[in-house]
Structure 1
């Protein structure tokens, strides 16, 4: 067993995938030039494609951090360099991943921007509706006092 925090040793996982007709079946985000997690330039699984190699295997989850692919560490890489490593990885791919923390079980990390933007849009909608109501109220009030 390797030294390290209990959380890291418990959540580290090696996954072997065979590239299918649609590739490995997941999208990645992150890199030094496109940080996905604040103060972390790591590469993360953004989306698992339905019926893709990763989905059929079932172990890789949205929000997991990919530590290496075929032994190549994904530390301090720009996003495009990480993408190129995945593209050139061959048919059999070995991933070392750090699973997302259990406390984020309300949904995959990759879906948070969708929820946040959905929440933001909902907030804008509420503000818009309130603005219309206030405007109509003021207009009616002014109209009643107009001679």
Structure 2
């Protein structure tokens, strides 16, 4: 990425006005607390009821926040991004990538799509081999 983000149907620019409870959402991720496999980005983990984000309605849990007030969040630690949000002022502009379909490392409200691992396949193969061996023994005893 060359530092600029081009518009795409998956990108949304959201302007929020900080309310009494802040911006009204929690974040996870960062280079030091990777939340999504092979992605050290910043993700929305929770939208707080009646907060600025909930009232706006466009930001959703699972969305990836790419920029805040023109600052790219790529390759930042979790704490440095939290500090950016704290010092962002009353009017905050976000560039968001809507709910990327990736596998989450941490807990989520909905279950991530399950991809069988090689050990799962080997376990099934071992079960089948055992069943074939038992059937072979039973067949030999009856003949």
* TM-score, normalising length: structure 2: 0.67
Q: Residues 8-23 of structure 1 correspond to what in structure 2 (within 5 A)?
A: 9-23=8-22
Partner of residue 113, structure 1: 108
Give the secondary-structure state (helix, strand or coil) at the position aligned to 1:10.
coil
Aligned ranges 1:1-147 → 2 under 5 Å: 9-101=8-100, 112-115=107-110
Secondary structure of the corresponding residue to residue 27 of structure 2: strand
Deviations 1:35-86 (A, max 9, x none): 0101100000000000000000000000000000000100000100000000
Alpha-carbon shift at residue 9 of structure 1 (Å): 1.5
- CA deviation after TM superposition for structure 1 residue 10, in Å: 1.2
Q: Secondary structure at the match of 1:33?
A: coil
What are structure 2's unaligned runs of at least 5 residues? Answer: 112-143
Q: Displacement, 1:112?
A: 5.0
3-state DSSP of counterpart to 2:53 = helix
- Provide the rounded CA distance (Å) in 1 between the counterparts of 2:76 and 2:89: 20
Aligned length: 107
